A and B are shown apart, each in its own frame.
Chain A
Amino acid sequence: MSKNLRVKTSKFVDETYRVSFKFNGSRYYGYKGDTLASALLANDIHLVGRSFKYHRPRGIMTSGSEEPNAIVQLHNNSDRTEPNVRATEIEIYEGLEASSQNCWPSVNFDIGGINNLLSPLLPAGFYYKTFMWPASFWEKYEYFIRKSAGLGKSPTTPDPDVYEHEYIHCDVLIVGAGISGIMAAKTAAKNGLKTLLVDEKPNLGGSTIYQNSEHFKINNQNSGSWLEKEINEIKKIDNLDIRIRTSVAAFHGYNFLLARENLTDHLPIEQRKNKTRQKLLKIRAKKVITATGSLERPLIFDNNDRPGILLSSAIKRYADLFGVACGEKNIFLTNNDSAYETAISLIQKGIKVEAIVDNREEIESKLLYEIEKNNVKVFKGFTIVNTNGYKKINKVSLMKLSKDGQKVIGSKINLSCDCLGVSGGWTPAVHLFTQSGGKLKFREEDQVFIPKKYSSEQISIGACNGDLILEDIIKNTPKYLKEFLNIKKTDYDNVEVFSSENKSKRNIWLLPSDKILGKTKSFVDYQNDATAKDIKLALREGFRSIEHVKRYTTTGMGTDQGKLGNMHALGIISETAGTKMGEHGTTTFRPPYTPLTFGTIVGRNVGEYFDIFRKTPMHEWHLKNKAEFENVGQWKRAWYYPKNNENMFEAVQRESKAARESAGILDASTLGKIDIQGTDASEFLNRVYTNAWSKLAVGKCRYGLMLNEDGMVYDDGVTTRLGENHYIMTTTTGGAANVLGKLEDYLQTEWPELDVYLTSVTDHFATISVCGPNSKKIISNVIPDLDLSDENFPHMSFKNTKIGKINCRVMRISFTGEHSYEINVQANYANSVWEKCMEIGKDFNITPYGTETMHLLRAEKGFIIVGQDTDATMTPIDLQMDWIVSKKKYDFIGKRSLYRSDTIKDDRKQLVGLLTDNPNEILEEGAQIVADVNKSPIEMLGHVTSSYYSPNLKKSIALGVVRGGKNMMGKKLIIPMENKTINVTVADPVFLDKENKRLNA
């Protein structure tokens, strides 16, 4: 049974609510309100994990999101497992199970610990210098490297939780609910501004809220009680939205911020059902106030990473907020006043403080007096040179610092302890500020980077702006707020503040040791095991930029993103290089501030919501009739309709035959439809299509080919002249939106003089295509009033008519080569018309066919499909469609490009038909076409673009593009497959009914 280090009741944890949890398989207890870290510490557990490279034992070091060491796997082997969770952030709940990572067989005995002994061979970048022999062996070495790298384990089953997005627009966003954030929130909200206050912790008030000391007073109350009243007040304000457990991840331009609100991670698992786990808040704020506080710095000395070594501020937080003592014999190492605050707090609670080792020689602080009054020994001008204790610290060795702080002198003093608190001063949390594009300046007095110039409507206040002591915060914050929010007064203009803290600090980035640096392990980045000597090695090897050093040593690349160590790395670099801080750059703080769950970023856009489905009005009918579907863009198109266990081939053969022998019906609703109106509509079409349009009579249809300005085929379709100044254009299914966009672009920007209006009507009309020798009979029954005679209604013409009361436009156009009608009808009537066609067509074996049969039928006729037979390198000339390119028109989109030196070449790839010597052999679409397989390398002439077995011709047919194919009619070519070659003959791409007799049959 472990010790109980809960020393004091705390109002922040609920001691009436005991929570049991498991860590590494053993059961422990904590209270509601505990983090996993505070509960473990209360159970006297410091050793939580192993480090990345050397597998050194590591304990809890901080009490927040900056934690580098105490990261665990939650709920191993379950669908809610999660790697790399910070014990310092996760709140315990009944049933929580956590285990140590990166160790085997256990955190207490880890085989990987052997790396620590091998560490002399594993300096920064060692892997760049070795594993190169023998040459082929890298992947074998790599296998073991990969196995030993990584921290936790990825989940292996889908996530049972749900995530959401929330869009928030506010006047003022305040990031951080510490004392300055609370002051800002109250001020903004009371001035009528729609205000949002977020904080990553479960409770408001930052580190002031648990401040209960004679040494820090506001308006004569201790600062914690004063702040509590303020918090109670702001909770009542209507226009102030407060979100706790909400961490701002990214601060983008134009005051766009992303935050993660954690809603269920603190709840017992059975209470999470039907609840959103995390929300991504997408915040647009008119003004942003960053009040993210500061992070305490560790100190860099030999063996500064042992379990039991914590930041001084963390020890204070564990004691004041959670009522937990991190040790029973505490020692502090500090270079400023902060550790004294912690020590006083411990002494108040009866926790023993052995000594304070202070780098400073002279200390003028009221806090020192208080400490010495309590008989705590203060070693002034001393530093720690080493620590002992494998799984937990048990001893420190101190020595006197030389005057310049570069050496240690005198003899070593050893002190025993079970906990060491370190304080290297404070680093303003400028991460979000720099993410937003803000530039920093370096403040020499206390060696910190603070905001210099703001990039948008934002300010930083409080500690993150460099106001590191209470007095400065209280004095400066109202001033900043008034200016930024443009208001006359705040509630805090006359607040009295009393603070015993002194700003003095003796900053030494790398504390000296009695050993040479090469023999020390002074960690700068704890998680990645990057030490001071690694940084110096990088500099020695010529890496100068901080980004180089960072990448070479991996400093700052861990899951904590260097929140603790980056400053020291910068400091050591500038000290070693003899340059000023900031000269080598500050590292870029890349988003997110704390890691962000993929699920949160994605929100509900998973599974069925990944992308919208576009369905035609006949979709349900297709489903009922067992259609298989093909994705075409966002559309679901009926692909084929298998009957009686047919496979696709069999179904398509049947459908194709039926369409040519009697009647087929196709849902063509997905084709893009653009309504074009205006007095210049004809001129517009002249400019966008390759052929001429002015002479097209009203009521007639024409096929058009559209090019890109580079001369390559872009889209095609039939356009119908509905009236003098009114056309309807059809586009390919996938191209619809782009075509409309392109046409609008030309219309608005190049040809604004044209009187033309474009409207997308793709979704408004559905299209039913009935084709085949019996189509006329069917349509004459579907639309009895319509005169279908060739005289009245010839091929390539259109009629406005009615089916019952339903208005419809019927075009006599054909993509199959058969006599064929396309009925366009308002979408909500379409299914009834379709069913009517089916009903009437029953006597003619009307057969619904899908896209596959459509492709086959058009290939028999040699009609192209843009995107299948073309690939953005094909001109109309290449397609042997010279007939559609007007020679008379002065200009059209892409015309000029057809006359460039390459596009006029004769031996470009050209569309041809291909017939296999063996009529039963079906070519593979995408197969390459060659003339000679014996040449090396084999010269590829082109490829097969479309290939089918034609049931109507009883042989396989294919379309392909072949270099110089135009002049190869009848020539034998070869299709080299992986294990055979197929002989083909170049043929006319029109395989069936070259004379177009069937159109009028």
Chain B
Amino acid sequence: MFIINCPFCGEREQSEFKAGGEAHIERPKQPTELSDDEWAEYLFMRKNIKGIQFERWNHIHGCRKWFNMVRDTSNDEIKAIYKMGEKPPVK
């Protein structure tokens, strides 16, 4: 189980957190303008990367804040953590 360094609270057990899947998938600003295909792309299609992945986590049993994480999904090593809205650290 990971130790996650919440950018607001510091290091905490993984059990306090909830994973939120791939990061930086922005909700379309004008959904009605999208084709069914484009909407499905936003809704369901995922990179599901093996390796360095940018993803969202929520400190659900803590400060309830969402933040981003860079993690190697092949060995679960956490590479970086940054706040929502911040630029991802370069890979």
Contact = CB atoms under 8 A, between A and B. Distances in A.
Interface string A728-756: 00000000000001001100111010000
Contacts of A891: 30-32
Contacts of B26: 750
Contact of B66 (A284, A749, A896): A749
Contacts of A901: 36
Nearest to B56: A749
Contact of B1 (A254, A455, A749, A896): A254
B75 A437 contact: yes
Nearest to B39: A896
A907 interface: no
A895 B28 CA distance: 12
A896 B84 contact: no
Contacts of B58: 741, 744-745
B84 A749 contact: yes
Interface residues of B, number: 26
Contacts of A389: none
A748 B66 contact: yes
A547 interface: no
Contacts of B20: 745
A897 B64 contact: no
B27 interface: yes
Interface string A279-290: 000001000000
Nearest to A255: B3
Given A891-B31, A896-B32, A256 B1 contact: yes
B17 to A, nearest CB: 12
Nearest to A900: B36
Contacts of B36: 900-901
Interface in B1-59: 1-3, 13, 18, 20, 26-28, 30-32, 34, 36, 39, 43, 56, 58
A506 B1 CA distance: 43
B2 A254 contact: yes
A73 to B, nearest CB: 35
B11 to A, nearest CB: 10
A745 B64 CA distance: 9
Contacts of A284: 3, 13
Nearest to B68: A749
Interface in A895-909: 895-897, 899-901
B66 A745 contact: yes
A180 B66 CA distance: 45
A896 B85 contact: no
Contact of A254 (B3, B34, B43, B66): B3
A284 B13 CA distance: 10
Given A744-B64, A895-B32, A752 B84 contact: yes
A899 B56 CA distance: 28
A254 B43 CA distance: 33
Interface in B55-91: 56, 58, 60, 64-66, 75-76, 84-85
Nearest to A745: B66
Contacts of A896: 28, 31-32, 34, 39
B31 A752 contact: no
B2 A253 contact: yes
Nearest to B77: A253
A284 to B, nearest CB: 7
A752 B84 CA distance: 9
Interface string A881-896: 0000000001100011
Contacts of B28: 896
Contacts of B32: 890-891, 895-896, 899
Contacts of A900: 36, 39
Nearest to A708: B43
A268 to B, nearest CB: 38
A895 B1 contact: no
Given A256-B1, A749-B66, A895-B31, A710 B60 contact: no
A891 B26 CA distance: 15
A284 B11 CA distance: 12
A252 interface: yes
Nearest to B28: A896
Contacts of B60: 741
Contacts of A748: 65-66, 84
A709 B18 CA distance: 19
A964 B9 CA distance: 52
Nearest to B23: A749
Nearest to A747: B66
Interface in A238-283: 252-254, 256
Contact of A252 (B1, B27, B84): B1
A745 B13 CA distance: 21
Contacts of A256: 1
Contacts of B66: 744-745, 748-749
A600 B43 CA distance: 42
A752 B27 CA distance: 13
Contacts of B64: 744
B87 to A, nearest CB: 15
B6 to A, nearest CB: 13
B67 to A, nearest CB: 9
A856 B13 CA distance: 45
A896 B27 CA distance: 11
Contacts of B27: 750
A828 to B, nearest CB: 25
Contacts of B3: 254, 284
Nearest to B2: A254
A899 B43 CA distance: 14
Contacts of A752: 84-85
Interface in A855-895: 890-891, 895
A750 B26 CA distance: 7
B4 to A, nearest CB: 9
Given A748-B65, A749-B66, A896-B39, A253 B31 contact: no
A890 B28 CA distance: 13
Contacts of A899: 32
Nearest to B38: A896
A437 B72 CA distance: 14
Contact of A897 (B2, B18, B43): B43
A710 B39 CA distance: 10
A706 to B, nearest CB: 16
B1 A253 contact: yes
Nearest to B83: A748
A573 B43 CA distance: 50
**Candidate in A252, A254, A437, A744 with the most chain B CB atoms within 10 angstroms:** A254
A164 to B, nearest CB: 18
Contacts of B13: 284
Interface in A334-383: none
A710 B43 contact: yes
Given A896-B39, A901-B36, 18 more contacts: A252-B1, A253-B2, A253-B76, A254-B1, A254-B2, A284-B3, A455-B75, A710-B43, A741-B18, A744-B66, A749-B56, A749-B66, A749-B84, A750-B27, A890-B32, A891-B30, A895-B32, A897-B39
Interface of B: 1-3, 13, 18, 20, 26-28, 30-32, 34, 36, 39, 43, 56, 58, 60, 64-66, 75-76, 84-85
Interface of A: 252-254, 256, 284, 437, 455, 709-710, 741, 744-745, 748-750, 752, 890-891, 895-897, 899-901
23 contacts: A253-B1, A253-B76, A254-B1, A254-B2, A256-B1, A437-B75, A455-B75, A709-B43, A710-B43, A741-B18, A741-B58, A744-B58, A744-B66, A748-B84, A752-B84, A890-B32, A891-B32, A895-B31, A895-B32, A896-B28, A896-B31, A899-B32, A900-B39
Q: Nearest 7 pairs between A and B by C-beta?
A: A896-B31, A748-B66, A750-B27, A254-B3, A256-B1, A896-B39, A749-B66
